Amino acid sequence: AVARTHRSRAARIAAFSERALGTPYAADSLGEGSGAACDADPLIDLSRVDCVTFCEQVLSLAISRNYDEAFRNLQRIRYRDGIISFAARNHFVMADWLPHNQWLLKDITGDAGGTLCQVMTKTIDRGGFAASRGCADAGEWPQPQRISSRYIPTPHLPKTVLQLKGSDVLGLITRPEGIFASHLGFIIKSGDGSTLFRHASSIHKKVVDESIEHLYRRIEKDRQIAGFALIA
For residue 121, give the nearest of 184, 177, 183 by alpha carbon: 177
Burial track 108-133 (b if 16+ CB lie within 10 A, e otherwise): ebeebbeebbeebebebbbbebbeee
H or E element at residue 127: helix 126-132
- Contact assessment for residue 124 and residue 130, using Cβ atoms and an 8 Å cutoff: no
Helices (H), 133-180: 157-162
Q: What is the pLDDT of residue 1?
A: 64
How far is the C-alpha of 80 from the C-alpha of 90, rounded, in Å?
Answer: 6
* Mean per-residue pLDDT, 101-113: 98
How far is the C-alpha of 76 from the C-alpha of 79, rounded, in Å?
Answer: 6
Q: What is the pLDDT of residue 16?
A: 97
How far is the C-alpha of 224 from the C-alpha of 71, rounded, in Å?
Answer: 35
Angle at 208 (CA atoms; ends 111, 168), nearest 5 degrees: 15
**pLDDT of 27 over the 90 cut:** yes
Q: What is the pLDDT of residue 193?
A: 86
* Mean per-residue pLDDT, 73-96: 97
Q: What is the pLDDT of residue 72?
A: 98
Q: What is the pLDDT of residue 3?
A: 63
* Mean per-residue pLDDT, 58-73: 97
From first CA to last CA, the distance across the chain in angstroms is 23
Rounded to 10°, the helix 51-62/67-78 angle is 130
Percent of the chain with pLDDT over 90: 94
Overall pTM surpassing 0.85 (yes/no): yes
**pLDDT of 112 over the 70 cut:** yes
Q: What is the pLDDT of residue 4?
A: 66
In the three-class reduction of DSSP (H, G, I as helix; E, B as strand; rest coil), residue 166 is classed as: coil
**pLDDT of 41 over the 80 cut:** yes
**pLDDT tens digit string along 169-212?**
999 999 999 999 999 999 999 988 899 999 999 999 999 999 99
**pLDDT tens digit string along 116-143?**
999 999 999 999 999 999 999 998 999 9
Q: Would you give the DSSP letter of residue 49?
A: B
pLDDT bracket for residue 83 (50, 70, 90): very high
Angle at 102 (CA atoms; ends 101, 106), nearest 5 degrees: 105
Q: What is the pLDDT of residue 120?
A: 98
Average pLDDT, rounded, for the chain: 96
